[in-house]
Structure 1
């Protein structure tokens, strides 16, 4: 605040001289002020003593401070209203909020940081890490090519290409490549006895149908056959209609190519409960287990595969009647040979099936087992082939 030229004592003394009938012009000339100043002093301090004048000055200073504080509070409230509906959960958001308040409300950096609750060092920080242009571009290409893959599977694909960087997750978040997912709340109802199977290929197969539509609106179905232990897709048969005899023929072809399963699990669809399938089971000496009615999660392996197929293929592809089989077959090849599976420690189903087969062969030949090196650890939820695993 600018220091006053005259104190209250001096002003009161001048007014006392004026009250003693001294002429205004003479007082103005004597003290080096204008006559208007004397009249202003008289209007403000007339009839007061020194203590009352000091009290008035103190009240004016306090009033000025209160006005300043009120103006600052109103400015802060306006700044908060400006950012009311904008989230400020990270450094980037807070940095943007500070820049916005500085640009549109002409606030200083210190004031804007105090309103937002940001550190000035954080606002002034500039990253010194390399831009990773090539890695970002390759990450975007993989994410756009496989739009339903999360960062873990994208990381596996980049590792296969020889990328040693540990910044994949940060770049994944900065490029906003997160896959939105809806997770329904599921409640367990009742109990059921688990099915014990050996941890080896062909220990158990699961069957189920998936329904979809062509581009012209015509419906078709896909019969999915999955190896529950190796998580490998053994067959996908799309068609507009399918009978029990067709199901039996497809199972016979897969069994001749891969070997008979120890068990087959499915629901109570008419294609699986018809006489043709029951006769095939009897002739092939294969046990067929049906889920409890209204319990699709008892067949959880193929249900999980159906969800991946719908999420990554059916919802992302436009099917025409002539190219549907080729597109589905190409996706199955990619699923078995290229796509990393999270429950297999991000191995592919085909690679894990080969590992299980080799392990089973070594266990059947103890001499070879003693000569071989220690096998890599099995994925989560899978034990050695000689043990029993509870599934279903």
Structure 2
């Protein structure tokens, strides 16, 4: 490749500045930059460098400030949000969208579906707000559903503060991460699910027990609704939305 050293340098310089450009854009730019290289030669070197393969680029996230993890003294001050993933017996994947109130660690809802895009997240949140009232803030990670324009604008319109954790720091959302572990141990890993409806039914029964009967170590060994009762508690904790 010694005779192609000059071509390699040109390509590497262009790709470093424009990693998402395809071959013809790189070729045209090289011509505009004054490099007279035959397109067949450029393409041969382009393929030899494996630049014709899809190139993964790191998703750029805004800088996040570390948010203090302090248990609120009242309900509806901070809700924590997170997603989980699992599979049915058939191998088909499904996701869960979990929401808890950090004040008493009560699970407000778990949405179970094969796909949960940002618009569905908004619908779930609207149902929860109708049932429990509006939270002052949400603690959440930097997933695409939660950083989408639709979701962030929806929160802004309702005056809900978004407290994004720093990328790669799940411990900053520790309350719901601890819940996720319990949910996986006692439900997702404990059953072989045949259908989404079965996941929802088992989850609904388990959530009632979790909120009302299961002792919580960090709450003085009492259930969430014993530790801090909710005056207008809703009936269901799992949500049923149209697909």
TM-score scaled by length of structure 2:
0.65
Gaps of 5+ in 2: 1-64, 232-243
Q: What's the counterpart of residue 127 of structure 2? A: 253
Instruction: List per-residue Cα deviations over 1:291-338 (Å, max 9, x = no partner).
Output: 101111100011000000011111111111131111111111111111
Distance 2:187 2:77 in 1: 27
- Size of the alignment, in residue pairs? 166
Residues 193 and 334 of structure 1: CA distance in aligned 2, closer, same or farther (over 3 Å): closer
Distance 2:69 2:219 in 1: 20
State the 1:353 CA deviation.
2.3
Distance 1:209 1:198 in 2: 22
Instruction: List per-residue Cα deviations over 1:24-79 (Å, max 9, x = no partner).
Output: xxxxxxxxxxxxxxxxxxxxxxxxxxxxxxxxxxxxxxxxxxxxxxxxxxxxxxxx
Q: What's the counterpart of residue 311 of structure 1? A: 185
State the 1:198 CA deviation.
3.8
8 Å CA contact retained: 1:197, 1:203: no
Q: What's the counterpart of residue 205 of structure 1? A: 79
Match of 2:148 among 267, 274, 279: 274
State the 1:272 CA deviation.
0.4
**Looking at CA atoms only, which structure, 1 or 2, has the larger radius of gyration?**
1
8 Å CA contact retained: 2:67, 2:165: no
State the 1:213 CA deviation.
0.7
Distance 2:128 2:152 in 1: 17
8 Å CA contact retained: 2:67, 2:172: no
4+ aligned runs moved over 3 Å, structure 1: 195-198
Q: Aligned ranges for residues 170-189 of structure 1 at < 5 Å?
A: none
State the 1:197 CA deviation.
6.4
- Per the alignment, in what secondary structure is the counterpart of residue 200 of structure 1? coil
Relative contact order higher in (CA < 8 Å, ≥ 6 apart): 2
Gaps of 5+ in 1: 1-190, 358-392
Alignment RMSD = 1.7
- Per the alignment, in what secondary structure is the counterpart of residue 313 of structure 1? helix
